């Protein structure tokens, strides 16, 4: 039993616009990079949106937000994380004036949350760069993206300054290293993308993130603005010091992003990497000051799995996993998709972040993707008996409690995909995370009706007891 969750702990759930809103071209919305990435994973891009792209309809949150937020409120959510679809606000991304219909939609969503006392936690850019910015500008490789993003965030902060307090600048910012189109709107194919251009794109995103932090604090000093990184603790495959060095190098690739967001400058280890790889980051006037003066209020991260690294990769078979991949760990079991299940990894990563930075942390994604089966429950209602999901989340939350006992400041926990939505890596429905089942299948069929899973009441009790039921 865990007793230690603080009174004001923000329990809730997380989603992203492109994976659940649908209405991909309604009310003036432009196309985003997601509207041309159908089933088949990160690499598949179509010329135009195609019908087999499940994200075009998503789970129709756009029309059902009231019903869904009511269900979140019934579970007792204190916070609700979602993203704003950039191309609803600026359909092409480079306009000077926003699309009022897009802004009005989020007003309604936030008002509905606030009606139940649920705080919105908003990701400003979650894998949904306007397609025009990708095709015309090559996404974040182009410095002009900073200006477009600035216009976008200024619009959001001004419009929602009294409704939204918690903001995240980029979803899983480090994923751009591995999925440049989805994460950074970079249209150049990965095999042709030079390291110079990739790291310059990262620099632009980091500057944009600092700029957002600056503008946000100017518009409302109470804003809490965080970075968001994909966290994946890495273990050495063996105690061989060479494997430990491989682990250290893998860690640094990830820490780079939080190091700059929190410490406000490029760390020494990356300068060595840049020198070795002939990378020369172009700093515009004022970049260094922006990074130094506008560091984040907190670090948020996703955590699904840990991984292992080795100095002798030829000896092992690479495993599957959340974007970053890695090698299988013989001590861990994996989900059907090969993501290694490691609750203690969450304890480790919370402690590692806190030891390194001593600023508050927010777990904004965690959960188990699984195939669910709708069955008739004892009360005659259709449900899913998802004990596997309950076990996964229970074990992870116990570890969060332990980290809190160690003194780690954890602001909250938003489980991923609190309502079933389209999976990012497979672009299909059958990999589900929710407490709420949505009747939609991989072929696009289904009524879109919602059903409470067994985990719905389990999570409700966790929140009601502030974690003591774990």
- For the chain, the maximum distance between any two Cα atoms, rounded to a whole number of angstroms, is 66
Binders of ligand BGP among 335-374, rule CB under 6 A? 365, 369
> Is residue 77 a contact partner of residue 458, using CB atoms and an 8 Å limit?
no
Question: Which residues touch 7 (CB under 8 Å, ≥6 apart)?
Answer: 466
Shortest separation between residue 336's beta carbon and ligand BGP, angstroms: 11
Binding residue count for ligand BGP, defined by CB under 6 A: 14
Q: Is 171 in the site for ligand BGP (CB under 6 A)?
A: yes
Q: Is 302 in the site for ligand BGP (CB under 6 A)?
A: yes
> Is residue 85 a contact partner of residue 92, using CB atoms and an 8 Å limit?
no
For ligand BGP, the closer of residues 42 and 458 by Cβ is: 42
Burial (Cβ within 10 Å: 0-12, 13-18, ≥19) of residue 181: buried
Q: Among the options 21, 172, 309, 365, which is catalytic?
A: 365
Q: Which residues of 438-469 are buried (b: 16+ CB within 10 A; e: fewer)?
A: bbbebeeeeeeebbbbebbebbbebbeebbeb
Shortest separation between residue 55's beta carbon and ligand BGP, angstroms: 11
For ligand BGP, the closer of residues 302 and 394 by Cβ is: 302
Shortest separation between residue 328's beta carbon and ligand BGP, angstroms: 18
> Is residue 92 a contact partner of residue 84, using CB atoms and an 8 Å limit?
no
Beta strand extents in 140-266 (DSSP E only)? 166-168, 224-231, 234-236
Q: Which of 129, 322, 394, 399 binds ligand BGP (CB under 6 A)?
A: 322
Strand pairing of 436-438 and 307-309? unpaired
For ligand BGP, the closer of residues 224 and 423 by Cβ is: 423
For ligand BGP, the closer of residues 141 and 175 by Cβ is: 175
Verify whether residue 136 is a known catalytic residue.
no
Binders of ligand BGP among 217-236, rule CB under 6 A? 230
Shortest separation between residue 171's beta carbon and ligand BGP, angstroms: 5
Binders of ligand BGP among 12-41, rule CB under 6 A? 16
For ligand BGP, the closer of residues 37 and 423 by Cβ is: 423
Cα–Cα distances in Å, from 253 out to 131, 140, 174, 238, 346?
Answer: 27, 19, 8, 20, 18
Give the per-residue contact string, 412-431, with ligand BGP (x = CB under 6 A; - = no).
----x------xxx-----x
For ligand BGP, the closer of residues 159 and 432 by Cβ is: 432
Q: Is 169 in the site for ligand BGP (CB under 6 A)?
A: no
Shortest separation between residue 229's beta carbon and ligand BGP, angstroms: 10
Question: Which residues touch 30 (CB under 8 Å, ≥6 apart)?
Answer: 87, 88, 90, 91, 92, 93, 130, 131, 132
- Give DSSP secondary structure letters for 109-149: HHHHHHHTTPEEEEES-SS--BHHHHHHH-GGGSTHHHHHH
Shortest separation between residue 351's beta carbon and ligand BGP, angstroms: 22
Residues near ligand BGP, by CB under 6 A: 16, 171-172, 230, 302, 322-323, 365, 369, 416, 423-425, 431
Tell me which residues are annotated as active site: 365
């Amino acid at each position: 039993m865990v007793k230690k969750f603080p009174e004001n702990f923000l329990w809730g759930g997380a989603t992203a616009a492109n994976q659940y809103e649908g209405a991909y071209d309604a009310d003036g919305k432009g196309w985003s990079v997601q509207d041309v990435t159908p089933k088949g994973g990160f690499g598949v891009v179509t010329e135009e949106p195609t019908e087999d792209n499940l994200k075009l309809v998503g789970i129709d949150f756009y029309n059902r937000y009231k019903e869904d937020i009511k269900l979140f409120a019934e579970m007792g959510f204190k916070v609700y994380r979602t993203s704003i679809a950039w191309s609803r606000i600026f359909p092409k991304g480079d306009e000077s004036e926003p699309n009022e219909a897009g802004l009005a939609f989020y007003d309604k969503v936030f008002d509905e949350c606030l009606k139940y006392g649920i705080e919105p936690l908003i990701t400003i850019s979650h894998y949904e760069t306007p397609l025009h910015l990708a095709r015309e500008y090559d996404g974040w490789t182009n410095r002009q993206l900073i200006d477009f993003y600035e216009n976008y965030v200024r619009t959001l902060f001004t419009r929602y300054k009294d409704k939204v307090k918690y903001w995240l600048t980029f979803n899983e910012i480090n994923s751009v290293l591995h999925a440049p189109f989805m994460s950074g709107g970079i249209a150049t194919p990965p095999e042709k993308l030079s390291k110079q251009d990739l790291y310059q794109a990262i620099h632009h995103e980091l500057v944009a993130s600092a700029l957002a932090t600056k503008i946000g604090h100017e518009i409302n000093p109470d804003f809490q603005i965080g970075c968001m990184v994909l966290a994946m603790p890495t273990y050495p495959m063996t105690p061989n010091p060479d494997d430990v060095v491989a682990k250290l190098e893998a860690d640094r690739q990830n820490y780079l992003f939080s190091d700059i967001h929190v410490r406000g400058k490029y760390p020494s280890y990356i300068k060595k990497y840049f020198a070795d790889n002939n990378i020369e980051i172009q700093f515009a006037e004022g970049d260094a000051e922006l990074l130094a003066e506008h560091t984040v209020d907190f670090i948020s991260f996703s955590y699904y799995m840990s991984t292992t690294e080795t100095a002798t990769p030829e000896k092992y078979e690479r495993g599957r996993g959340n974007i970053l991949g890695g090698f299988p760990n013989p001590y861990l079991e994996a989900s059907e998709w090969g993501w290694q299940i490691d609750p203690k990894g969450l304890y480790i990563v919370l402690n590692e972040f806190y030891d390194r930075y001593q600023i508050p942390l927010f777990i904004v994604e965690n959960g188990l993707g699984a195939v669910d089966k709708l069955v008739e429950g004892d009360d005659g209602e259709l449900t899913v008996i998802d004990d596997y999901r309950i076990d996964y989340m229970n074990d992870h939350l116990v570890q969060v409690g332990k980290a809190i006992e160690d003194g780690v400041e954890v602001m909250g926990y938003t489980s991923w995909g609190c309502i079933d939505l389209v999976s990012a890596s497979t672009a299909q429905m059958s990999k589900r995370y929710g407490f709420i089942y949505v009747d939609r299948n991989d072929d696009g069929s289904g009524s879109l009706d919602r059903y409470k899973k067994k985990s719905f009441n389990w999570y409700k009790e966790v929140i009601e007891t502030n974690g003591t039921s774990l």
